[in-house]
């Protein structure tokens, strides 16, 4: 069984499903058959097909010609029905496909699947759910054990984890990750503890335009109590003070008495 299939299988087991992974229809492999019982009575049955690729999802033609056709295959449908007929009659088989790295035309893919009554579940959601639910207990299964090691040894070592992210995420993905982190309340609270030197470095590297920085301070940072002390402290800074004095040091208007004697 593939690693991704192992993860989906573990996820289903945790949700109370009994899973069958070795069911075949002639020479065709049936992905995962998931059964949920109420005591001894079969209440729900799902047929899942898992298709994942590290380099990205297959094109839409593959989804249409391979995945959908597999759900429509009468031989597979009959095999599943025969397997479950003695448990409960006339139970509708729910069809689910697990895909990863969905492209921009995600809506088109979902629409195509929905027409065939096939539900889409993203593998990344399953993987995230599994990792969040892992505890420190020992797992004999190699795939689950590996995920556990990643969670408790790599992710909990900030320096090593960041090293991996920095070397493997593209610039765009890094921006998305940082934006996602800063959208979390817990991260923002921790960000408040950032020392002045690091905060200055962040602002410098951000290359914010002076006008935008001023608006940000006015609208999002300063309030009625902090504006006056901030402006006062800002003017007292040596370089800013010089610029400020030049701006306000305009020539005084000559009195009218000088012209009319």
Q: HSE (CB half, 13 Å, CA atoms) of 32?
A: 24
pLDDT tens digits for range 195-230: 666 667 667 666 677 788 888 888 877 888 888 888
- Average pLDDT over the chain reads 80
Residue written as tokens 């992905």? 31
123, part of any domain = yes
63, part of any domain = yes
Q: Provide the CATH number for the domain around residue 102.
A: 3.40.1350.10
Q: State both tokens at 166.
A: 């920095």
pLDDT tens digits for range 67-111: 778 888 888 888 888 877 767 667 788 999 998 877 666 777 788
- What is the 3-class SS of 109-168, one letter each residue? HHHHHHHCCEEEEEHHHHHHHHHHHCCCCCCCCHHHHHHHHHHHHHCCCHHHHHHHHHHH
Q: Concatenated DSSP letters for 159-173?
A: HHHHHHHHHHS-HHH
Share of the chain above pLDDT 70, in %: 76
CA distance 152 to 131: 10
Other CB atoms closer than 10 Å to residue 261's CB: what's the count? 4
The parent domain of residue 91 ranges over 3-133
215, part of any domain = no
174, part of any domain = no
Q: Is the pTM of this model over 0.75?
A: no
**pLDDT at position 81:** 81
Residue 165: phi and psi, rounded to 5, are -65, -45
11, part of any domain = yes
120-129, 131-140, 186-195, 242-251 — which is least confidently predicted?
Answer: 242-251
170, part of any domain = no
C-beta separation of 82 from 23 below 8 A: no
């Amino acid at each position: 069984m593939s690693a991704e299939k192992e993860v989906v299988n573990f996820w289903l087991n945790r949700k109370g499903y009994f899973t069958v992974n070795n069911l075949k229809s002639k020479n065709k492999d049936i992905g995962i058959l998931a059964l949920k019982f109420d005591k001894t009575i079969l209440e729900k049955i799902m047929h899942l097909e898992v298709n994942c690729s590290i380099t990205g999802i297959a094109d839409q033609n593959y989804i249409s010609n391979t995945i959908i056709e597999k759900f429509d295959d009468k031989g597979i449908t009959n095999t599943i029905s025969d397997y479950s007929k003695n448990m409960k009659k006339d139970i509708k088989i729910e069809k689910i496909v697990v895909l990863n790295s969905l492209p921009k035309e995600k809506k088109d893919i979902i629409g195509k699947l929905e027409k065939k009554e096939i539900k889409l579940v993203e593998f990344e959601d399953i993987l995230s759910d599994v990792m969040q639910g892992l505890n420190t207990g020992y797992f004999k299964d190699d795939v689950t054990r590996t995920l556990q090691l990643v969670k408790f040894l790599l992710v909990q070592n900030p320096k090593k984890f960041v090293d991996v992210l920095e070397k493997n995420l593209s610039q765009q993905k890094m921006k998305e990750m940082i934006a996602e982190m800063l959208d979390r309340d817990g991260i923002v609270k921790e960000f408040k503890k950032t020392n002045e030197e690091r905060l200055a470095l962040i602002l410098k590297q951000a290359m914010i335009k002076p006008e935008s920085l001023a608006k940000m301070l006015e609208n999002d940072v300063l309030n009625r109590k902090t504006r006056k002390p901030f402006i006062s402290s800002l003017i007292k800074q040596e370089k800013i003070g010089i610029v400020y004095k030049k701006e306000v040091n305009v020539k005084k208007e000559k009195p009218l008495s000088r012209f009319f004697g």
